[in-house]
Amino acid sequence: MMINKYEGTTASQSEEAKTTTVSGTTESSQAKATKQFAQAAEVKTTGTDSKNSELATAKPVTESNPQKATKQLTQTAEVKTTSTDNKNSELATAKPVTESNPQKATEQLTQTAEVKTTGTDNNNSESAQSVDTNKQVQLSEEKEAPVEETPAQIEKVEVIQVGDQSCVQIKNKQVPLEKLVNFYITKKKERKRNRKAVFKRRQEQMLKPYQAELIALQSHLEKTNQKMIILFEGRDAAGKGGTIRRVIRYMNEKHYRVVALGKPTEEQKTQWFYQKYIQHFPTGGEIVLFDRSWYNRAMVEQVFGFCSQKEYDDFMNGVVDFEKDLTTQGITLVKLYFSVTKAEQARRFERRKTDPLRQWKLSEIDLQAQDRWDDFTNTKYTMIKQTHSHNAPWSIIRSNNKYLARREAMKVILNSVNYANRNKELDYALDPNIVISGAREIEIMDVQMNNSGKFIN
SS3 letters across the chain: CCCCCEECCCHHHHHHHHHHHHHHHHCCCHHHHHHHHHHHCCEEECCCCCCCCEEECCCCCCCCCHHHHHHHHHHHCCCCCCCCCCCCCCCCCCCCCCCCCHHHHHHHHHHHHHHHHHHHHHHHHHHHHHHHHHHHHHHHHHHHCCCCCCCCCCCCCEEEEECCEEEEEECCEEEEHHHHHHHHHHHHHHHHHHHHHHHHHHHHHHHHHHHHHHHHHHHHHHHHCCEEEEEEEECCCCCHHHHHHHHHCCCCHHHEEEECCCCCCHHHHCCCCCHHHHCCCCCCCCEEEEECCHHHCCCHHHHHCCCCHHHHHHHHHHHHHHHHHHHHCCEEEEEEEEECCHHHHHHHHHHHHHCCCCHHHCCHHHHHHCCCHHHHHHHHHHHHHHHCCCCCCEEEEECCCHHHHHHHHHHHHHHCCCCCCCCCCCCCCCCCCCEEEHHHHHHHHHHHHHHHCCCCC
Of 49-58, 159-168, 197-206, the one with minimum mean pLDDT is 49-58
Strands, sheet with 6-7, edge to edge from the N-terminal-most edge strand: 6-7, 43-45, 54-56
Average pLDDT score over residue span 141-155: 51
**Residue 377, beta-bridge partner list:** none
Tell me which long-range contacts 165-174 makes (C-beta under 8 A, separation of at least 24): none
What's the pLDDT score for residue 136? 52
- Cα–Cα distance between 312 and 309 in angstroms, integer? 5
- Cα–Cα distance between 270 and 251 in angstroms, integer? 36
Q: How confident is the model at residue 155 (pLDDT cuts 50, 70, 90)?
A: low
Average pLDDT score over residue span 86-105: 44
What's the pLDDT score for residue 32? 52
What's the pLDDT score for residue 156? 66
Out of 135-149, 215-229, 262-276, give the one with best mean pLDDT: 215-229
What is 198-452's CATH topology? Rossmann fold (3.40.50)
Residues in the chain: 457
Any idea where the domains of the chain sit in the sequence? Answer: 6-130, 198-452
Average pLDDT score over residue span 85-114: 46
pTM: 0.61
Average pLDDT score over residue span 47-58: 41
**Tens-place pLDDT, residues 389-439:** 999 999 999 999 999 999 999 999 999 999 999 999 999 999 999 999 999
- Cα–Cα distance between 256 and 258 in angstroms, integer? 7
Interacting residues of 160 by C-beta distance below 8 A, sequence separation 6+: 166, 167, 168, 169, 174
Q: How confident is the model at residue 153 (pLDDT cuts 50, 70, 90)?
A: low
What's the pLDDT score for residue 33? 47
**65 has pLDDT over 60:** no
**455 has pLDDT over 90:** no
- Cα–Cα distance between 369 and 371 in angstroms, integer? 5
What's the pLDDT score for residue 162? 78
Other C-beta atoms lying within 10 Å of the C-beta of residue 72:
20
What's the pLDDT score for residue 60? 42
**57 has pLDDT over 90:** no
**69 has pLDDT over 80:** no
Q: How confident is the model at residue 134 (pLDDT cuts 50, 70, 90)?
A: low
Out of 7-21, 91-105, 205-219, give the one with best mean pLDDT: 205-219
Instruction: Judge contact between 338 and 292, C-beta under 8 A.
Output: no
Of 14-23, 171-180, 244-253, 256-265, the one with minimum mean pLDDT is 14-23
Higher per-residue pLDDT: 358 or 331: 331
**42 has pLDDT over 90:** no
- Chain-wide mean pLDDT for the chain? 76
Considering the chain, what percentage of its residues have pLDDT values greater than 70? 65
- Cα–Cα distance between 298 and 322 in angstroms, integer? 15
Strands, sheet with 165-170, edge to edge from the N-terminal-most edge strand: 158-162, 165-170, 173-176
Instruction: Calculate the CA 86 to chain-centre distance.
Output: 53
**87 has pLDDT over 90:** no
What's the pLDDT score for residue 239? 95
**163 has pLDDT over 90:** no
Amino acid at 451: N
**Tens-place pLDDT, residues 318-341:** 999 999 999 999 999 999 999 999
- Cα–Cα distance between 332 and 347 in angstroms, integer? 35
Higher per-residue pLDDT: 263 or 337: 337
Higher per-residue pLDDT: 357 or 403: 403
- Cα–Cα distance between 102 and 32 in angstroms, integer? 11
What's the pLDDT score for residue 39? 55
Instruction: Judge contact between 234 and 399, C-beta under 8 A.
Output: yes
